[in-house]
Structures are given as structure tokens and as C-alpha cells.
Amino acid sequence: MSTDDFAFGARRLSGLQPKEQPLISVLLQTTIAPDADDWSIERFGLLRQFLSGSRGSDGRPLFNVIARDRGPVGRPDPVLSALHGSAFDELWLLAVGTEEGLMPEDCEGIRRFRQRGGGLMLTCDRRAPAAATRRPAYHSGVNGDYQSVRVVGEPHAVLHDPLAPGGFVRYLPAHPHEGMVMAPDNEPGARVILRGHSFASGADFNLAVAIERSAERGPAIAQSSFRHFCDYNWNLAKGAPSFVNDVPGDGLEHFPEAVRSTQQYVRNVALWLAGRSPFFAPSLTGDRP
């Protein structure tokens, strides 16, 4: 697929009926070049599959998803650097590398994309020093298990879960090396919306920050770890890179409600970033990924 296909493939909306809402165009992108033994985009296949398969109340698909790794390191990425001129509605930027994965031109493309109203979901990992998380690491549980999460302040729209007791998202995948996100001072409307708990230190930590849409920029979610979205932490059978040596658990496999809660959160975020309300989407039943 060519660069033009990536940047403008989200325009594939032909044949829509007049009253049908257009597909939400989503770009899932890592900050590393393709690498079979790293957290390349192939390790987020369940995320792509889930979003691509999501349906609205009318039974029609909600999202058109394009997933890719960055282009060659050391030069501007052909898609991110031109993102502001694309038809994408939102970017899920998976900062999975240990080194800088973005060139200044990429950052400028993302900045201008948000400036024109595009939504951004940014997540990384403790081992990615340039990303939005902060050390130290927090042990929310082992890979393959789930963690209980706590709503902070007024419940945000992305936490809506009509099938959960209390009506809000309760679980996400666990990870033994979580980072922490902070609400940036230079982003009006930014606030912490979700917290987790470290079993190692006993400390609470911020799992997610939401930045509301404004006249100057599109909405954003900053997530503490990309492990909440990767195949391995949704289904251990999918495997992990060879450098992952933590002993896993199997809690998620035996607790479908945690799977459903995670998927509800993912769909809520994808809808909200595009300016759609999660409140009117049909509830999820929680099939095993």
C-alpha cells in the first residue's frame, strides 16, 4: 500500500446512504520500524480487529482502521508528518520504542492534526523515555491478569459502561511495569480520569488523562501503558517479544467481565476522540479475543 493509501485511504466512504454516519477513520501507528521481535503493529492485531468489527446500533461498522509501523528511522515518517492533510479522524500513537521514534516533522504533523480537530490517543511504556509516562514503574499485576481501576472525579464519557455495576469501566489488563500519566499544565481541560493501584508499593497511580476538545485543538487521551492494548496482554497465546521475561498469570482468561470492560473502554475512547457519544452505542457482551 502506498503512502497516499495510508494518508488518504480513510476517504473510502463511497456508497453511504444520506442518513448514515460516515465511518470514523482511525490510524493505529507505532513509533518503530517493522520488527518481528519487538512491539511492532502486528502485536496489536486484536485491537485492530476489535475496532474494525465494532458495530453501531444500526448494525453498520463504526470504524475504518489502518494500522502501520513508522517508516525508516532517521527521516520524517511519510504519514505522521503529513497527518494534518489526511482524512483521518484520530490517531492512536503507540510509543513502543526505547529511542526517539518521532522526527520534528512528525511532531509538527501531529500538532497540526490536533489543531484542525483531530483526536489523539497517546500511550507508551516505562521503557520509552521520550513518551508521556513518568517513572517509577507501578506493579498493577502480572501480564495476563487484570487490574481493578478507579474513576477519578466526575466520571468521564469514555468510562461509561451500562452493563457494569455502578455504570462505569471497572477493569483493564494488568502490567508489572506501568508508567504514570500526568495532566499537562499547558493543556486547558486536561484532567486525570482513571487510577490504578500498585501491589508492590501500595501507591495509587494515574492510568489515564483526558484532554477535552477546544476551539484550538482536538481531544486527547494519554494512557499509562500500551500494554493495555497489545495482543499479549489481551491473550497470552498471542506471544510477546523474546525480551519479555516476566512470569505471566491467567486471570484475564478466566474472567470474561474484565475482557468486556477493556473492550468497552477501547470503543468508548475511539468514539469520543471522533466527537461521537459513547452513551448511544450498543453495549458489549465480552467475547474472548
pLDDT confidence of 10, banded at 50, 70, 90?
very low
Q: Give yes or no for residue 2 having a pLDDT over 60.
A: no
pLDDT confidence of 282, banded at 50, 70, 90?
low
pLDDT confidence of 6, banded at 50, 70, 90?
very low
Phi then psi for residue 169, to 5 deg, are: -55, 135
| Predicted pLDDT at 3 | 44
Range among 8-22, 94-108, 258-272 with highest mean pLDDT value: 258-272
Going by C-alpha positions, the residue among 276, 261, 233, 283 that lies closest to residue 90 is 276
CB atoms within 10 A of CB 104: 9
In the chain, the domains with their CATH numbers are 3-280 (3.40.50.880)
For residue 66, give Cα distances in angstroms to 151, 183, 282: 31, 28, 23
**Hey, CA dihedral for 133, 137, 142, 143, is it positive or negative?**
positive
Beta bridge partners of 134: 180
Q: Using CA atoms, how far apart are residues 30 and 102, in angstroms rounded to an integer?
A: 10
| Predicted pLDDT at 110 | 98
Angle formed by the axes of helices 45-53 and 256-273, nearest 10°: 70
Give yes or no for a contact between 119 and 219, defined as CB atoms under 8 angstroms apart: yes
Rounded to two decimals, the pTM is 0.88
Phi then psi for residue 157, to 5 deg, are: -60, -35
Residue pLDDT, tens place only, 131-184: 344 445 777 878 989 999 999 999 999 999 999 999 999 999 998 878 788 998
Residue pLDDT, tens place only, 109-126: 999 999 999 999 999 875
CA 281 to chain centre: 18
Give yes or no for a contact between 149 and 172, defined as CB atoms under 8 angstroms apart: yes
| Predicted pLDDT at 201 | 79
Secondary structure (DSSP) of 39-108:
T-GGGGHHHHHHHHH-B-TTS-B-EEEEEE---STTS--TTGGGGGGS--SEEEEE---SS----HHHHH
pLDDT confidence of 35, banded at 50, 70, 90?
very high
| Predicted pLDDT at 13 | 36
Q: Using CA atoms, how far apart are residues 108 and 102, in angstroms rounded to an integer?
A: 10
Count of H-run helices and E-run strands, the chain: 5, 12
Residue pLDDT, tens place only, 49-102: 999 999 998 899 999 999 999 999 899 999 999 999 999 999 999 999 876 689
Q: Give yes or no for residue 246 having a pLDDT over 90.
A: no
Q: What's the mean per-residue pLDDT of the chain? A: 87
Q: Using CA atoms, how far apart are residues 120 and 218, in angstroms rounded to an integer?
A: 8
Range among 7-16, 18-27, 59-68, 97-106 with highest mean pLDDT value: 59-68
Q: Give yes or no for residue 16 having a pLDDT over 60.
A: no
Secondary structure (DSSP) of 4-51:
HHHHHGGG--TT--TTSPPPEEEEEEESS---TTTT-GGGGHHHHHHH
- For β-strands 204-211 and 190-197, DSSP reports them as antiparallel
Share of the chain above pLDDT 90, in %: 69
| Predicted pLDDT at 101 | 82
| Predicted pLDDT at 15 | 43
Strands (E), 150-211: 150-151, 171-173, 178-180, 190-197, 204-211
| Predicted pLDDT at 126 | 53
Range among 98-107, 170-179, 200-209, 220-229 with highest mean pLDDT value: 220-229
